[in-house]
Chain A
Amino acid sequence: MQSNRVKIDSLCAEYDAGGMDRRSFLKKMGLLGVAAVVANAVSLSSLGAKAAFAQISGAEERAWELAKVAAAKASKKTLTLLIPTGSIGNMTPYVDKWKNELGITLEFIEEPDEVVHTKGMQEAVAKTGRYDVMMPTAMSYPDWIDSGVIYDLTEWTEQHQPDLFHKEWGVVFPASHHAQLYNGRVAGLLNDGDQITLLCRDDYLQHPDKQKAFADKYGYPLAVPSTWGEYYNLAEFMHDPANKFYGSLEYRSPYYVKWMFMQRLVSKGRLYFDGDMNPTFNSEEGVAALEDMLKMNQFLHPDAFSFTWSSNYNAFGRGEGFMNIVWPSGFKYSKAPSTGPATTGKIAATVMPADILKDGTKLYAGLFCWGYGYAVSRYSANPELAYAYAQWMTSPTISADAIPYLGGYSDPYRINHMLKPTQRLIDTYSPEYLQTLYDNMVNTVPDFCIPGGFEYQDALDKQVHACMTGDKKPKDALDEAAKAFDRITRRIGKDKVKKSWLALAKNLAEPIRKASGADQWS
């Protein structure tokens, strides 16, 4: 049956379009090897024959069948992947299967993560065809689609059903939309659930003397913080520089510091722009966010201004701080005895703290930052095979198998990864942390996944960093960033960016849309 997949798909499409009667459809499906009971169910489905047939087999199987057909047709028997350095560990376990069963050699071109976007833009002009699959972050999709370097995957996803939005095993909403779609069309398939969560040292939280001292001082029990105010109190209480133990390890270093600001901003119910592309961070809330960060500086690790993710994880793993704001990989680091000698078995994780809005609402918001995915190069010699690889690797089943492998960045992103995890996922993370990831992800706001996204982020990062180092006052820094944003918007074209921004803002958690006013945008 599956060898005739392409014919079956076109037959279903013809039937859906009214091109034949049911009797002819059933007969032709039978000739293509489809069982009568399946053909009958498909023909009667309210989803339409094509979608119903796609659901009969899983996303993994559908991708594999497509891969078999595409591999057989392919003249070039190598599939080349542009991937960020350090991510290969999630892909290498499947190299043999693709070679042995499909005759396809998987070739990986590793580039530093900050170079992948540039390499993609370079391919847009060079058109070398050296890449089949490209692995950018979600922020690259708008520029890559607009430059024509990657395919719009929508038609393939409609045809082969990767189960992106399935209610039980789809990608968690809203990441399902903001990390995969551009202007409502599928640009890439997410393979990495990058979001930041908060880690605390549970051994300190459970210490009776500390519990008493904390309750005496602050008037409420010692626990993981649920608000930014509580986060500040905890940092202040636990900060013990004499013993080289610091309140928190959040970032103040260039490139990373913007995310600390963006997180606080969205917690205050502000997004980056209003509905007409006017920057909104140089507002009362934005200034308050920067002032909160400046206030926190006294309780941070002394290396906060130079942290990269790896030095940050290592410092936390060595036991040099009470709290840390980390990507899910940071939890893995803290859990593993080799990278978290002082933290293994001693971590309590929670969603990012909420903020109390003016109307008294407690708003939980998270930040989906970075997040790799697979895109298909428009200059690939075998685009269908490249798509099949992307769907296969990100299918609910294979992705659940791939994520726990060490040596890759891939973190949970599908509902089944978090709510119905495999034992290996549980062993790699923990049931509690997977639940935390889910609870946090449903409230995430994305990076600047709009045209010029990297430019906006860089402009913001520079000014936030200048403020943290004392070079600029909060309002001045944010006004400067807002001016840069306006320039970028003008240069790219306001209508184009606005369309993309509104599409992005449409798919956010309802409380965030309400708090930011995005629910009123047309």
Chain B
Amino acid sequence: MHAKKLSPLLAVVMGLALAVTLFPVFWIVMTAIKPPTDWNASPAIWIPSEPTHINFLTLFDPEAIGAYGVGGVSQSATKAVWGSVRASIIATALSVSIGLLSAIGITRYGNGSKIAPLVILSGRMFPPAAIAVPFVIIFSNVGLTDSYVGLIAIYAAATLPFSTWMLKSFVEDLPREVEEAAMIDGRSRLMAHLTVTIPLIRGGIFATTLFIFILNWSEFMFSLVLSYTNISTIPVQLARYVTATAGTLYGVQAALAVLAMVPLMLMGYLIQSHLARGMTFGAIKQ
């Protein structure tokens, strides 16, 4: 089958859209390999004449940037990177698992009630800034501030409405008869869901997982208010790259941002076939 050719106008529009979308990524990557003298140069330096990996080194060895006469970086990003990995993976797994159970429960056993989904969604009706401090108070009373357990709990809770609603739409689009056929074949309800429902909405689960992971990975507010010394995440660490002698360390910030993009791109690449299915799942109704 021949692929359709793009019309010149559409090609130009798509090219422009791509340029606009990719420009920030290009700029961040270029800044990440610029030496400190080029970060803030005027006129702007688009492509560094002497690319350097010093910004990446500084993430894990704060002294490294001293080679360019910049001092005052006091924190390695190691803790923040591992913190983000740990909190995002576990919170995403929790959120998607609970969300999947909720979605199946609401769709298949909810008797059409709209209250439960709305109650779950109400968790997202408040801006995070409004609920951050109450969470701090509650968590400090139970010893969960400055701990990954607390951070994971709040990440999972905050993303649960999304995972539930996203997965609910995927379950709804799956004909109930498929599960019933499995049960006629002798499977229990649970086994029918495990062996039929879940595999058939796999694309949706992957898409939801990626979306929830991105939310957790880039979350700033809760991480900021709940962290003291024991925990850190990449978004919070990004805000800490300011020194008195060099101001904002744009290159080091960009290096960490590039590093932060890697898992998302990797995940997106690995599950892209499922992702495409997940995103279009339900487009054609039965």
Contact = CB atoms under 8 A, between A and B. Distances in A.
**Chain B contact patch, size range:** 20 to 34
Interface stretch (B9-17, B53-61, B158-166, B235-243): B235-243
A408 B243 CA distance: 8
A115 interface: yes
B136 A339 contact: no
B42 A86 contact: no
B245 A407 contact: yes
A431 interface: no
Interface in A332-385: 338-339
A409 B74 CA distance: 14
Interface string A294-320: 000000000100001111011100101
A80 B229 contact: yes
A315 B74 CA distance: 25
Interface in B146-165: 146
Interface of B is mostly: loop
| Interface core residue of B42, B133, B224 (most chain A CB under 10 Å) | B42
Contact of A89 (B75, B224, B244): B244
A308 B133 contact: no
B239 A85 contact: yes
A195 interface: no
Interface string B247-279: 110000000000000000000000000000000
B229 A87 contact: no
B72 interface: yes
Contact of B242 (A86, A107, A126): A86
A394 interface: no
A397 B77 CA distance: 35
Contact of A110 (B140, B240, B248): B240
Contacts of A127: 140
A147 interface: no
Contact of B229 (A86, A109, A318): A109
A85 B242 contact: yes
A310 B228 contact: no
Given A130-B146, A310-B248, A107 B71 contact: no
Nearest to A336: B245
A308 B248 contact: yes
Contacts of B229: 80, 107, 109, 130
Contacts of B69: 338
A258 B72 CA distance: 29
A310 B245 CA distance: 9
Contacts of A310: 40, 242, 246-248
Interface string B112-139: 0000000000000000000001001101
Interface string A216-252: 0000000000000000000000000000100000000
Contact of A314 (B72, B228, B243, B247): B247
B225 interface: yes
A116 to B, nearest CB: 12
A89 B140 contact: no
B145 A407 contact: no
Contact of A122 (B136, B241, B246): B136
B72 A406 contact: yes
A88 B240 CA distance: 12
B240 A339 contact: no
Interface string A376-413: 00000000000000000000000000000011110000
B243 A86 contact: yes
A245 to B, nearest CB: 12
A311 B247 CA distance: 8
> Which of B72, B136, B224: most chain A Cβ within 10 A?
B72
A314 B240 CA distance: 19
Given A85-B239, A320-B42, A122 B133 contact: yes
Contact of A112 (B75, B225, B239, B244): B239
A314 B40 contact: yes
A2 B271 CA distance: 70
A113 interface: yes
Interface in A114-143: 115, 119, 122, 125-128, 130
A197 interface: no
A119 B74 CA distance: 20
Nearest to B129: A118
A329 interface: yes
B137 A125 contact: yes
Interface string B198-241: 00000000000000000000000000110011000000000111
A311 B44 CA distance: 13
A165 interface: no
A311 B40 CA distance: 7
A454 interface: no
Interface in B48-79: 69, 71-72, 74-75
Contacts of A87: 244
Contact of A126 (B136, B245, B247, B248): B136
Given A89-B71, A122-B133, A315-B42, A128 B228 contact: yes
Given A107-B229, A122-B136, A126-B137, A407 B248 contact: no
Contacts of B241: 85
A193 B74 CA distance: 23
Given A87-B244, A339-B245, A407-B245, A126 B239 contact: no
A406 B245 CA distance: 7
B231 to A, nearest CB: 12
A315 B71 CA distance: 19
Contacts of B137: 125-126
Nearest to A87: B244
Contacts of B244: 86-87, 89, 329, 406-409
B242 A112 contact: yes
Contacts of A303: 42
Contacts of A256: none
Nearest to B138: A126
B71 A308 contact: no
Given A108-B74, A126-B136, A311-B40, 18 more contacts: A85-B241, A86-B244, A87-B244, A89-B245, A107-B229, A110-B74, A110-B240, A125-B133, A125-B136, A128-B140, A128-B146, A130-B229, A308-B248, A314-B247, A329-B244, A407-B71, A407-B244, A409-B244
Which 10 pairs of residues, A with B, have the shortest CB-CB distance? A310-B247, A407-B72, A126-B140, A112-B239, A86-B242, A86-B244, A126-B136, A130-B228, A338-B69, A85-B242
22 contacts: A87-B244, A89-B71, A89-B243, A89-B244, A92-B74, A109-B229, A110-B74, A113-B242, A115-B239, A122-B225, A126-B133, A128-B228, A130-B145, A310-B248, A314-B247, A318-B42, A320-B42, A338-B69, A406-B71, A407-B245, A408-B72, A408-B244
